[in-house]
A and B are shown apart, each in its own frame.
Chain A
Amino acid sequence: MNSKQNVVKMIRKGDTEVVFQRYFDAPRELVFDCHTKPELMRRWLIGPEGMVLDTCEQDLRVGGKYLYLYADEKGNKSGVYGTFREVVVPETLSNTENYIMDMETFDANAPEDPNATFESRTFTTEGKRTLMTHLCRYASPDICKMMVESGAADGMAECYLELDRLLGEMG
């Protein structure tokens, strides 16, 4: 493993957006490939609690659709799907994101939820490293509000840091 571990930084932006930032010690072409090529995505895009990426369909073009299904050992599936909104190789990737709540009723061809989450990933070269900025915008601010209910404009990351410190002190 890396001695200097790159960690995910989480920043709050506006009242519906959360931004994750993460450095990778690799050129952005590679990092971009890992986000777009199914054979590479399967290698790292693990699901919550050990679920693996079972289905990975990608139509990588503006207006194209994607479908990622995660499966656990018992064969239970869940996943996300959406439409690509912006594809600029190897710089930017934007898409909508919908959560599949119930496989029984899931229909990939049904009209997309107008309240789908929007996300975009931007890959920037910084020396030999790549900075990935992953923005999530919640169309209905409820989810975001739930995360960061506040009127204050100060970065949520700052709040986390303080909380981390506080919890650390409490041991």
Chain B
Amino acid sequence: MQTLDATFSALADPTRRAILMHLAKKDLTVMELTKPFQMSQPAISKHLKILEEAGLITTTRRAQERPRRLQTAPLKEAVDWMEKYRQIWEKRYQALDGLLEELQNIQPKGVRKK
């Protein structure tokens, strides 16, 4: 659960979610991430630190550069957790859709089979 806490906390910030979106396409360095966000390098670094602590990204090596890479495992865990909850209700409501349709076919005016 501590992992989930850290994940959600890291994801609570729109900039950090956007950073993850960019990293989903390819590994990027701090400098490369600075451009699309029009933010200072320290500001981006701060966000990256939080993401790294939550295990959502790791630092890799490419010659002199230190590009960041998206780690999907904690994300999946968080999404799965929420999805499970939502899906139970989704399943129930789909069953209810069917029942409502049936009830409406019986009830409206006129002749219906018994």
Min CB gap B88→A, angstroms: 6
Give residues 1-33 of A contacting B (CB, 8 Å): 1-2, 6-8, 10, 20, 22, 24-26, 30-31
A148 partner, pick from B8, B13, B104, beta carbons under 8 A: B8
Set B85, B92, B97: member contacting A2, Cβ < 8 A: B97
Whether A149 and B104, one on each chain, are in contact in the complex, defined by CB atoms closer than 8 angstroms, is no
Binding stretch for chain A, among B19-27, B35-43, B44-52, B60-68: B19-27
Interface of B is mostly: helix
Taking the complex as formed, is B111 at the interface, i.e. its CB lies under 8 A from any CB of chain A? Answer: no
Contact check, B95 vs A43: say whether CB atoms are below 8 A apart. yes
Cβ of A102 within 8 Å of any chain B Cβ, yes or no, is: no
In the complex with contacts A150-B12, A169-B24, A22-B99 CB distance below 8 A: no
Interface residues on B, range: 35 or more
Residues of B within 8 A of A31 (CB): 96, 100
Q: Does A113 lie at the interface of the complex (its beta carbon under 8 Å from any beta carbon of B)? A: no
Closest Cβ–Cβ distance, residue A67 to chain B (whole Å)? 18
- Chain B hits for A40, CB < 8 A: 99, 103
User: Across the interface, which residues of B come within 8 angstroms of A34, CB to CB?
Assistant: 96, 99-100, 103
Q: Does A110 contact B (CB under 8 A)?
A: no
